[in-house]
């Protein structure tokens, strides 16, 4: 009956989770032996601090392994971000001042922008699984806590540092090349997935501990474009025209996000005061195509060039320049009144120049406009020229970069490298993947509301059901997901509604209208604040160019065409992420609330008991159940409402999950539990001492995290963690500089199979090398022994073909909801080993496939929606400030495990309650760590 109530089981089709990210909706924070524990993670030193959060080195404790086993303690990076922010508080204050509110207030108004931001970051990271992209393993999202935690692969080598105190380059040209090559591969993968990173810079490239490779990190401002994904998924070479409006909906992209010195001209286009170089250095025909329509051509400089994934390529060019020369190519005029504006003007209108030598090895560059093509310096300058093309259409593509002479310069077998790294095959884009990255949120139901909604729920469900079937029968899966053209149209119509969040549904058209009105009203009010910000900005200036070089700016733009300065202040209302509110929502219910899984480490699992059912409610078109649902939650005295809830045994409702979890949760859990082991453990080797062996200049360029780690010594087992380990091929081959000759860099396999790269297994690779196998380069394993090479290639091709075939079959195979695992088993040490015991037949195969990333899934911000619903269901605003990590100002650098201090600091009370939700004001709870609450968690 429950299933019939929504009757959309045919939409559950995501065959497996490409990234195996576990979402845990319970957080247990406590002290254990003087050290803070969060679920099964022990917290150690703080390794970084970003704009909104902190990153800690943590160890995942896997009690199933005996003491001393390498897998018992697996290092991970845990980023914690506070949900709330000052601006969210301003909102609350505004609401308290009788700001017009509506039960259909747009979702974003109800979420802090930071929360929206991190949810977007999470949704994007969930898609990523590639050797050159930092992996996300787990989200701990307990709505009763004031922070969200992201458990990530730990990159012990830290940020790529590129200059010393004297602004001289510290990396050799060879190292730079390998870094860039890694970044290119990571970027290529991201773009293929429809993700534009938007903040490529050296600081967002993190070294593995052995410094054999770098990985792209920090997706805080990344953009996901479904249209681009479709484009990438098309036939080879198809739809490469960045101007095509189908390709990118740049409403989000044109927002100035990223780091000023790395911003592409098309992003800071408004800052040009004269016809930009882009229009001068481009042939007439091309330049005219920058503008649309005759009137546009008459004032070409006023037209914003298309903003595409090419902004990442520009940023890569700036990165290359930085690594080679120890400074950025474009700088603000110190004499200029507005530093930021001056920088942007330089980016848009000025050429760059270069010193005479590049790299720490000081290779000659032969000047800005060299003659000939033979020398390395010349090649590099030529590449820079192509990367830093102000005209986006003339800018080099990633594929071309990979084929560039200099990039291939040190590879013994460039063709093989190209072949192995080619993202081949068509991505299988499931049109119903919208919900797939939805965060798991547990509900606390309000019974009164729930019962009131029952009848309307069924009514709506019936309608919806009918509608849906109609769509399905006609084979029309709906405009949003099946056809990018239509999607754009939908989006445009949403804009007409004066709110970017009015991508609403037929079912909630009126809701949307009022949401629109509320949104507009709030925005107007907020403008006052923004103007004040602008004034302050004008008075205070924009800071030194140093900060412009390094700091990511607040990433949300200001719309309109005000003066340049005004754009540097972000409007909260416009700060929201993309607002596609469509897709399906899966609600998991368990037969017994108490049956919620809890694994042996004491961590609560996300999924409820084995009797759980997965029910997906969805719309097949622009109709958005989530929008309707979220829109229905009142900002005033309205209590949260969701029609999904009413379908079930309310006692058992615990949380939402994406339908993909419903179909594969148990094995996903198993492999996800193990995934941190695969990743970080292989590169987890401690190596403060190893690091000390690195050449002088590099050592000086320690990052904050390394400083923080100085007092922290890994003592874990494992060959790579042995400080006395001999200088291995790996280490010799590291981009860090030793043995810095061609063919002297060992690396990972990152196979580009159809719709997937194979996740690199460092250990396997090391074994091969120990066996005397040949070495790879730039993150790609390339065999030197041609015979063996051929044999292995043949085997691999065969395997890959088989795998590809299987994936193709599975990608579109209809799938019924599987039973759910009781146990998310995040601490499971086995990789996809099917240790759950109650898996589907398919799941063994899934386990195998899960080691690769599968067809990408599309979700945009569905997680935000889900979370918001959960928030309302929680009665919202009564978030406790419990936090196992304590607060920002706690001093963790010395890794002193001072839990008592943390407890005290973590308890700084703030009035965070949301009056609009009709809740009582509550002081946030003081965290109390009870040392023995879970004594068995460690041992
Ligand atoms: N997975 C990781 N492994 C190791 N260090 C990390 C990891 N992720 C982040 N860091 C470090 O933590 C610091 C903060 O990272 P974070 O991603 O939070 O920065 P951010 O908030 O995006 O900051 P920014 O303002 O530069 O964008 C960085 O300096 C980075 O070096």
pLDDT by residue (tens digit) across 406-451?
999 999 999 999 999 988 644 443 433 323 332 333 333 344 444 4
Measured in degrees and rounded to the nearest 5, phi and psi for residue 237 equal 75, 0
The protein residue whose alpha carbon is closest to atom 21 in ligand 1 is: 50
- Ligand 1 atom closest to the Cα of residue 155 is 3
> What pLDDT score does 203 carry?
95
The tokens for 547 are 């900060």
Average pLDDT of 547-555?
52
pLDDT higher at 332 or 230: 332
- Tokens 């107007």, residue located: 524
- Residue with the nearest Cα to atom 23 of ligand 1? 50
Higher pLDDT, 132 or 672: 132
- For residue 208, how far is its CA from the centre of ligand 1 (angstroms)? 14
Phi, psi of 529 (to 5 degrees): -65, -40
From residue 697, how far is each of 157, 168, 205, 211, 892 by CA, in Å? Answer: 15, 10, 19, 15, 27
Does position 363 have pLDDT exceeding 70, yes or no? yes
Instruction: Among 315, 687, 705, name the best residue to mutate to test ligand 1's pocket (greatest count of ligand atoms within 8 A of Cβ).
Output: 705
Which residue has a Cα nearest atom 11 of ligand 1?
48
Decide which of 336 and 167 is more confident.
167
Q: What pLDDT, on a 0 to 100 scale, did the predictor assign at position 806?
A: 65
Q: How far is the CA of 666 from the centre of ligand 1 (A)?
A: 31
Tell whether residue 79 is among the known ligand binding residues: yes
Q: Which atom of ligand 1 is nearest to the CA of 199?
A: 27
Pull the structure tokens for residue 761: 């297994």
Residue bearing the CA closest to ligand 1, atom 15: 50
- Identify which of 79, 201, 221 to mutate to test ligand 1's pocket (most ligand atoms within 8 A of the CB): 79
Lowest mean pLDDT among 214-218, 444-448, 598-602: 598-602
Residue 818 neighbours by CB under 8 Å, 6+ apart: 614, 662, 663, 664, 665, 666, 839, 840, 842, 843
Question: pLDDT-based confidence at 77, cuts 50/70/90?
Answer: very high
How does pLDDT run across 889-908, given as a tens digit for each residue? 333 333 333 333 333 333 32
Task: Point out the ligand 1 atom lying closest to the alpha carbon of residue 134.
Answer: 1
Mean pLDDT, range 484-502, rounded to an integer: 31
CA of 16 from ligand 1 middle (Å) equals 29
Split at pLDDT 50, 70, 90, the class of 909 is: very low
> Can you tell me the mean pLDDT for 525-543?
46
Ligand 1 atom at minimal distance to the Cα of residue 704: 29
Range among 100-104, 514-518, 520-524, 725-729 rated most confident: 520-524
CA distances 130 to 20, 91, 210, Å, are 12, 39, 18
Q: How confident is the model at residue 610 (pLDDT cuts 50, 70, 90)?
A: very low
- Cβ partners under 8 Å of residue 637, min gap 6: 918
Among protein residues, the one whose CA lies closest to atom 18 of ligand 1: 50
**For residue range 753-772, what is the model confidence (pLDDT) as tens digits?**
222 333 333 444 444 444 43
Q: Which residues line ligand 1 (CB under 6 A)?
A: 47-53, 55, 77, 79, 134, 152-155, 158-159, 203, 206, 217-218, 220, 551-552, 705
Q: How far apart are alpha carbons 312 and 342 in whole angstroms? A: 22
Q: What is the ipTM of this complex?
A: 0.97
SS3 string of 550-593? Answer: HCCCCCCCCCCCCCHHHHCCCCHHHHCCCCCCCEEEEEEECCCH
Answer with the residue of higher pLDDT: 827 or 28: 28
Distance 50 CA to ligand 1 centre (A): 6
> pLDDT category, 25, cuts 50, 70, 90?
very high
Nearest residue (by CA) to ligand 1, atom 20, is 50
Decide if pLDDT at 347 tops 90: yes
pLDDT reading at 676 higher than 70: no
Which residue has its alpha carbon closest to ligand 1 atom 12? Answer: 48
Specify the ligand 1 atom closest to the Cα of 217: 8
Confidence of residue 467 (pLDDT cuts 50, 70, 90): very low
Residue 472 CA to ligand 1 center (angstroms) comes to 44
State which H helix or E strand residue 683 sits in: helix 680-683
| CA-closest residue to ligand 1 atom 17 | 218
**In ligand 1, which atom is closest to the CA atom of 50?**
21
How many angstroms separate the alpha carbon of residue 687 from the centre of ligand 1? 20
Residue 39 pLDDT = 95
Residue among 21, 55, 197, 262 whose CB has most ligand 1 atoms within 8 A, to mutate:
55
What's residue 307's pLDDT?
86
Angle at 241 between CA 237 and CA 242, to 5 degrees: 125
Quote the pLDDT of residue 704: 38
Write the CB contacts of 8 (distance below 8 Å, at least 6 apart in sequence). 468, 584, 616, 617, 618
Q: What is the pLDDT of residues 146-196, one digit of tens each?
A: 899 999 999 999 999 999 999 999 999 999 999 999 999 999 999 998 899
d(CA 863, CA 585): 10
Tell me what pLDDT residue 766 has: 46
Instruction: List C-alpha distances in Å: 299 to 275, 293, 304, 307, 559.
Output: 9, 11, 11, 19, 20
- For ligand 1, atom 30: residue with the closest CA: 48
Task: Please say whether the beta carbons of 182 and 122 come within 8 A.
Answer: no
Task: Give pLDDT, residue 217.
Answer: 95
Partnered with residue 38 across adjacent β-strands are 29, 41
Q: Which of 47, 152, 258 to mutate to test ligand 1, by most ligand atoms within 8 A of the CB atom?
A: 47
763: exposed, middle or buried (C-beta count within 10 Å: 0-12, 13-18, 19+)? middle
Percent of the chain with pLDDT over 90: 23
* Cα 878 to ligand 1 centre (Å): 29
CA-wise closest residue to 485 among 704, 230, 743, 668: 230
What's the pLDDT at 832?
A: 34
From ligand 1's centre to the CA of 211, what distance in Å?
Answer: 17
| Distance in angstroms (rounded) separating the CA atoms of residues 302 and 541 | 26
> In terms of pTM, does the model score above 0.90?
no
Q: Which of 76-90, 139-153, 490-504 has the highest mean pLDDT?
A: 139-153
DSSP structure string for 384-450: HHHHT-SSTTTSPPHHHHHH-HHHHTT-S-HHHHHHHH---S-----TT-TTTTPPPEE----HHHH
Q: Closest ligand 1 atom, CA of 54?
A: 18
Classify residue 70 by its DSSP letter: T
What are the residue numbers of the active site? 199
Distance from the CA of 207 to the center of ligand 1, in angstroms?
12
Q: What phi and psi, each to the nearest 5 degrees, are found at residue 214? A: -115, 155
Q: What is the pLDDT of residues 770-791, one digit of tens each?
A: 443 322 233 333 333 444 555 5
Any idea which of 568-577, 782-791, 857-866 has the lowest mean pLDDT? Answer: 857-866
3-class secondary structure, 809: helix
User: 268: buried, middle or exposed (CB in 10 Å: 19+, 13-18, 0-12)?
Assistant: buried
Output the residue whose Cα is nearest ligand 1's atom 1.
154
Atom of ligand 1 nearest to the CA of 81: 18
**Ligand 1 pocket check: which of 75, 159, 217, 549 to mutate, most ligand atoms within 8 Å of Cβ?**
217
**Which one has a higher pLDDT value, 924 or 722?**
722
Rounded average pLDDT over 205-231? 86
Q: How far is the CA of 55 from the centre of ligand 1 (A)?
A: 6
Would the pLDDT of 68 be above 70? yes
Question: What pLDDT is recorded for position 172?
Answer: 96
Whole-number pLDDT of residue 553: 59
Q: What pLDDT score does 710 carry?
A: 41
CA 603 distance to own-chain centroid: 24
- Say what the pLDDT of residue 739 is: 36
pLDDT at 760: 37
Reply yes or no on whether the pLDDT at 108 is more than 70.
Answer: no
What's the mean per-residue pLDDT of the chain? 56
């Amino acid at each position: 009956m429950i299933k019939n109530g929504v009757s959309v089981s045919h939409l559950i089709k995501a065959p497996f989770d490409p990234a195996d990210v576990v979402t845990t909706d319970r957080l247990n924070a406590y002290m254990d032996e003087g050290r803070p524990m969060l679920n099964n993670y022990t917290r150690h030193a703080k390794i970084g601090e970003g704009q909104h959060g902190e990153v800690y080195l943590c160890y995942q404790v896997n009690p199933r392994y005996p003491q001393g086993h390498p897998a018992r303690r697996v290092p991970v990076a845990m980023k914690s971000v506070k949900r709330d922010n000052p601006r969210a508080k301003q909102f609350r204050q505004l609401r308290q001042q009788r700001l017009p509110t509506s039960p259909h207030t747009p979702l974003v108004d109800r979420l802090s922008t930071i929360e929206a931001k991190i949810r977007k970051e999470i949704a994007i990271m969930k898609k990523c699984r590639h050797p050159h992209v930092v992996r996300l393993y787990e989200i701990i999202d307990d709505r009763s806590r004031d922070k969200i935690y992201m458990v990530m692969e730990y990159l012990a080598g830290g940020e790529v540092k590129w200059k010393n105190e004297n602004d001289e380059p510290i990396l050799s040209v060879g190292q730079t090349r390998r870094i860039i090559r890694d970044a290119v591969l990571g970027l290529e993968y991201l773009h293929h997935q429809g993700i534009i990173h938007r903040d490529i810079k050296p600081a967002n490239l993190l070294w593995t501990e052995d410094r054999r490779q770098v990985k792209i990190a920090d997706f805080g401002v990344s953009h996901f474009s479904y249209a681009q994904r479709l484009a990438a998924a098309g036939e080879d070479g198809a739809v490469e025209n960045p101007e095509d409006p189908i390709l990118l909906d740049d409403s989000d992209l044109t927002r100035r996000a990223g780091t000023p010195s790395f911003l592409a001209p098309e992003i800071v286009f408004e800052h040009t005061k004269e016809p930009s170089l882009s229009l001068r250095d481009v042939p007439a025909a091309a330049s005219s195509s920058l503008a649309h329509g005759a009137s546009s051509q008459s004032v070409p400089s006023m037209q914003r060039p298309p903003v595409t994934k090419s902004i990442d390529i520009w940023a890569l060019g700036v990165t290359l320049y930085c690594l080679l020369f120890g400074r950025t190519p474009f700088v603000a005029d110190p004499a200029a009144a507005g530093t930021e504006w001056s920088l942007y003007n330089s980016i848009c209108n000025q050429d760059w120049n270069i010193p005479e030598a590049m790299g720490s090895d000081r290779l000659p560059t032969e000047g800005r406009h060299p003659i000939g093509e033979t020398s390395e310096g010349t090649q590099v300058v030529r590449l820079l020229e192509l990367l830093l093309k102000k005209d986006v259409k003339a800018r080099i593509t990633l594929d071309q970069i990979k084929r560039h002479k200099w990039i291939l310069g040190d590879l013994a077998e460039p063709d093989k490298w190209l072949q192995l790294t080619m993202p081949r095959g068509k991505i299988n884009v499931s049109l119903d993947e919208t919900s797939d990255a939805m965060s798991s949120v547990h509900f606390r139901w309000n019974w009164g509301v729930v019962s009131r909604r029952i009848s309307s729920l069924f009514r709506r469900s019936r309608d919806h059901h009918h509608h849906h079937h109609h769509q399905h029968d006609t084979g029309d899966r709906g405009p949003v997901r099946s056809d990018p053209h239509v999607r754009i149209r939908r989006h445009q119509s949403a804009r007409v509604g004066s709110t970017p969040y009015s991508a609403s549904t037929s079912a909630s058209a009126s809701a949307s209208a009022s949401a629109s009105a509320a949104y507009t009203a709030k925005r107007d009010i907020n403008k006052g604040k923004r103007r004040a910000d602008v004034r302050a900005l004008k008075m205070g200036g924009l800071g030194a160019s140093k900060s412009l070089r390094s700091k990511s700016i607040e990433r949300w733009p200001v719309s309109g065409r005000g003066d340049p300065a005004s754009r540097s202040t972000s409007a909260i209302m416009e700060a929201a992420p993309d607002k596609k509110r469509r897709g399906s929502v899966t609600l998991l219910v368990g037969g017994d609330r108490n049956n919620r899984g809890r694994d042996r480490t004491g961590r609560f699992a996300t999924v409820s008991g084995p009797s759980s059912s997965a029910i997906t409610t969805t719309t097949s078109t622009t109709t958005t159940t989530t929008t309707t649902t979220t829109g229905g939650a009142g900002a005033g005295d309205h209590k949260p409402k969701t029609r999904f809830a009413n379908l079930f045994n309310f006692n058992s409702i615990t949380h939402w999950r994406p339908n993909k979890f419903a179909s594969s949760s148990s094995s996903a859990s198993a492999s996800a539990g193990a995934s941190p082991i695969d990743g970080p453990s292989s590169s987890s080797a401690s190596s403060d001492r190893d690091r000390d062996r690195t050449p002088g200049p590099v050592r000086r360029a320690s990052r904050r995290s390394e400083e923080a780690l100085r007092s922290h010594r890994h003592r874990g087992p494992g060959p790579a963690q042995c400080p006395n380990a001999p200088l291995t091929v790996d280490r010799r081959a590291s981009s860090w500089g030793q043995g810095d000759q061609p063919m002297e860099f060992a690396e990972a396999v990152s196979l580009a199979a159809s719709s997937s790269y194979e996740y690199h297994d460092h250990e396997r690779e090391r074994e091969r090398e120990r066996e005397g196998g040949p070495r790879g380069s730039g993150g790609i394993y390339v065999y030197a022994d041609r015979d063996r090479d051929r044999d292995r290639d043949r085997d691999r091709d065969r395997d890959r073909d088989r795998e590809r075939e299987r994936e193709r079959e599975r990608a579109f195979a209809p799938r019924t909801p599987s039973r759910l695992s009781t146990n998310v088993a995040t601490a499971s040490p086995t990789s996809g080993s099917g240790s759950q015991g109650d898996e589907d037949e398919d799941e063994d195969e899934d386990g195998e496939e899960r080691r690769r990333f599968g067809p990408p899934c599309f979700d945009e911000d569905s997680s935000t929606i889900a979370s918001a619903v959960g928030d309302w269901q929680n009665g919202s605003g009564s978030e406790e400030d419990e936090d196992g990590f304590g607060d920002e100002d706690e001093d963790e650098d010395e890794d002193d495990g001072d839990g008592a201090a943390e407890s005290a600091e973590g308890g700084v009370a703030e009035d965070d309650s949301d009056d609009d939700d009709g809740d009582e004001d509550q002081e946030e709870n003081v965290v109390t760590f009870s040392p023995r609450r879970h004594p068995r968690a460690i041992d």
